[in-house]
Chain A
Amino acid sequence: MRKRPDPFVWLTIFSTSIILFFILLPLVEMVAQPSFSSLKEAITDRDVVNSIWLSIYASGLAAIISFVIGTPFAYLIARKTFFGKKFIESVVDLPIMIPHPVVGIALLSVAGRDHWLGQFMHAFGIRIMGSVTGIVLVMVFVGLPFYINTAKAGFEAIPKRLEKVSRSLGASMTGTFFRITFPLAWRSMLVGMIMCTARAISEFGAIVIVAYHPMIAPVMIYERFTAYGLKYSQPVAVWLILVSLLLFLLLRIVSLPKQAKV
């Protein structure tokens, strides 16, 4: 007699299919609906190419900035316990929770000429409103927590003792970081940068407030949708998805551990 599967097995299969269907159907439909000629037309349009390039370039820059300023911080949080650590950790997570337009408004409220920081930046010729600087700034703001949390987990996974032994053998803190910690944690750091880029590239709500122009791809898609309708926004969206997918796939392959590579 064949064993009858437990009803719970059916439940897991059912929920898996629902989830896959729910996520993939709209995406597949969107990619499939535009005609080949409309796709070709979109990619030969300079404005489209520029916006996709800006999206990728700005989010990549945001990831690099997060890496530079976030790494020492993530290391500190992973290694030390101190008064107020929990508070600092919740502060870092704030950008994940705040509604996106609020992020944009918050950033503008310090960048304006009424604020001392705005005046300071203005004196140096730094403009936030309607500039690439503003776009990157927003992207760092929303992407930083993703980099920091992933890098932190990577540092935490390295036994403290390895660093202690390195110090005992004569290496300074800096030497230990570059000879032990970094070689063991770079994959987590790279994954963190991928997460940060992914978050940055998908940001719309905050950027549309800070910088409608120059146009990043999501803003362009939104503009074409409101001005011309679904048909005209779809091809741009398809190209953004394709280019991003390709990039993330590449980075994922690089960050795979050696053994897992086929």
Chain B
Amino acid sequence: MIQLNRLRIDLPRFSIQDIDLSIEKGQFFILLGPTGAGKTLVLEAIMGLAPVTSGQIIVAGKDVTHLPPEKRGMGIVYQDYALFPHLTVLKNISYGLRYRKIDEQPTEKHLDRLIDQLNLSHLVDRSIHNLSGGEKQRVSLARALAVNPSVLLLDEPLSALDPNFREDLRQVLKKLHQELRITFLMVTHDFAEALFLGEQMAIINLGKIEQIDPVSRVFQQPATPFVAEFVGMKNIFPATFNKNRAIVDNLELCLQAPPEGRKRYVGIRAEDVSISKIRPSNNGLNVFKGKVSDIIDRGLYYEVSVSTEEVVFRAMLTKSALFEINPSETKEIHIAIPSSAIHVF
């Protein structure tokens, strides 16, 4: 559906560097990255709102690289809603209708259904100034969808909302995608959102793509240290490899299988690191002695740093588990990491 071929955008202080991306028809695609990674710029380039230096943008088999935005048949929804302040809710929603061709005109019915779906019927005559954030974003969605776009581009649509509205709108987005079956491309910096909504995702950092994979795979098998950190992997170490062993600063970790290809890092999720007072038996586990060097209260859990002689591991513990270990009295503890939980990249 959408194909980016070596897309390059050069701005005075930033550039998108030769991005290749392919999004299938009907997919919910997520472009994930930190603030300033260039996500919005890519989105606006696809919409035709940002200048492209070189490369191609192909939508539905057609090269649209030099097409003006009004000819692309896509919709865009921004984080700050970008509603037209001088128009009512209904006039905002129906803004684009006059540009539709006559033969695409079951619009009246389509519009009513859309307003219904987004639960906006009681607001249509209101001015947009006294709507809540969630309502504003639903109006913005309705406005973009009213013109039957082939692709809906979403620029951090949930980021400006209060947590309770955010949850609500997340469901709305998921439902809309299931019912409309059009391609959604959403930009976000929130991995939880991506995990809930996305099917396929690309991680972008400093204008470069770091990984393109199904969402669950990105979570399980990050391709670079940046991605690993971004998806919440707390233990990332440079390592050398020898058959099915990884060596991190003289510490040997046993892997499930020898790594394929050239790998440079190991990564372990904090929730896969367990801590105990008594030494557990070795089967399938990497067991090390260590000392608790730091405890951070994260609210629902504790993040505990354990130093072995060589490295510092970080583990996630519940309050009761931490109480059991009693770190202030216990001098030496054992940490255990299953070989299956060690990712190499």
Residues of A that sit less than 8 Å from B by CB: 159, 161-162, 164-172, 175, 179-180, 183-184
Of B49, B80, B84, the contact of A168 (CB 8 Å cutoff) = B49
Least distance between A157 CB and chain B CB atoms (Å): 11
Q: How big is chain B's contact interface, by range?
A: 20 to 34
Say yes or no: A162-B82 contact (C-beta < 8 A), given A168-B47, A168-B49: yes
In the assembled complex, B99 has its CB within 8 A of some CB on chain A: yes
Q: 28 A-B residue contacts at CB 8 Å?
A: A161-B78, A161-B80, A162-B84, A162-B85, A164-B76, A165-B78, A165-B143, A165-B144, A167-B68, A167-B69, A167-B70, A168-B49, A168-B69, A168-B70, A168-B74, A168-B144, A169-B75, A169-B96, A170-B96, A170-B98, A170-B99, A170-B100, A171-B70, A171-B95, A172-B68, A172-B70, A175-B99, A180-B84
Of B68, B85, B143, the contact of A169 (CB 8 Å cutoff) = B143
CA distance A175 to B70 in the complex (A): 10
Of B49, B84, B144, the contact of A167 (CB 8 Å cutoff) = B49
Complex contacts, A167 vs chain B, CB 8 Å: 48-49, 68-70
Say yes or no: A169-B95 contact (C-beta < 8 A), given A164-B44, A164-B76: yes
Q: Are A164 and B49 in contact (CB under 8 A)?
A: yes
CA distance A177 to B76 in the complex (A): 19
Least distance between A130 CB and chain B CB atoms (Å): 46
CA distance A159 to B79 in the complex (A): 13
Complex contacts, B99 vs chain A, CB 8 Å: 169-171, 175
Which residue of chain A lies nearest to B98 when distances are taken between CB atoms in the complex?
A170
Which residue of chain A lies nearest to B129 when distances are taken between CB atoms in the complex?
A259
Which residue of chain A lies nearest to B146 when distances are taken between CB atoms in the complex?
A169
Q: Are B70 and A170 in contact (CB under 8 A)?
A: yes
In the assembled complex, B215 has its CB within 8 A of some CB on chain A: no
Q: Are B75 and A168 in contact (CB under 8 A)?
A: yes
Q: Are B75 and A166 in contact (CB under 8 A)?
A: no
CA distance A184 to B95 in the complex (A): 15
Least distance between A214 CB and chain B CB atoms (Å): 43
In the assembled complex, B86 has its CB within 8 A of some CB on chain A: yes
Q: Are B70 and A159 in contact (CB under 8 A)?
A: no
Complex contacts, B59 vs chain A, CB 8 Å: none
In the assembled complex, B147 has its CB within 8 A of some CB on chain A: yes
Which residue of chain B lies nearest to A166 when distances are taken between CB atoms in the complex?
B95
Complex contacts, A162 vs chain B, CB 8 Å: 82, 84-85
Least distance between A167 CB and chain B CB atoms (Å): 4
User: 15 extra interchain contacts, Cβ-Cβ under 8 A, other than A165-B82, A169-B144?
Assistant: A162-B82, A162-B84, A164-B44, A164-B69, A164-B76, A165-B78, A165-B143, A168-B47, A168-B69, A168-B72, A169-B95, A170-B98, A171-B99, A179-B95, A180-B84
Complex contacts, A165 vs chain B, CB 8 Å: 76, 78, 82, 84, 143-144
Least distance between B195 CB and chain A CB atoms (Å): 28
CA distance A172 to B75 in the complex (A): 15
Least distance between A163 CB and chain B CB atoms (Å): 9
CA distance A170 to B48 in the complex (A): 12
Q: Are B85 and A184 in contact (CB under 8 A)?
A: yes
Complex contacts, B47 vs chain A, CB 8 Å: 164, 168
Q: Are B84 and A170 in contact (CB under 8 A)?
A: no
Least distance between A179 CB and chain B CB atoms (Å): 8
Q: Which 7 A-B pairs have the closest CB atoms?
A: A170-B99, A169-B96, A161-B82, A167-B69, A168-B76, A170-B96, A165-B82
Q: Are B147 and A169 in contact (CB under 8 A)?
A: yes
CA distance A170 to B70 in the complex (A): 4
Least distance between B278 CB and chain A CB atoms (Å): 60
Least distance between B177 CB and chain A CB atoms (Å): 19
Least distance between A92 CB and chain B CB atoms (Å): 24
Say yes or no: A170-B82 contact (C-beta < 8 A), given A164-B44, A164-B76, A165-B76: no
Least distance between A118 CB and chain B CB atoms (Å): 43
Least distance between A196 CB and chain B CB atoms (Å): 24
CA distance A183 to B84 in the complex (A): 10
CA distance A171 to B86 in the complex (A): 17
Complex contacts, B75 vs chain A, CB 8 Å: 168-169
Complex contacts, A184 vs chain B, CB 8 Å: 85-86
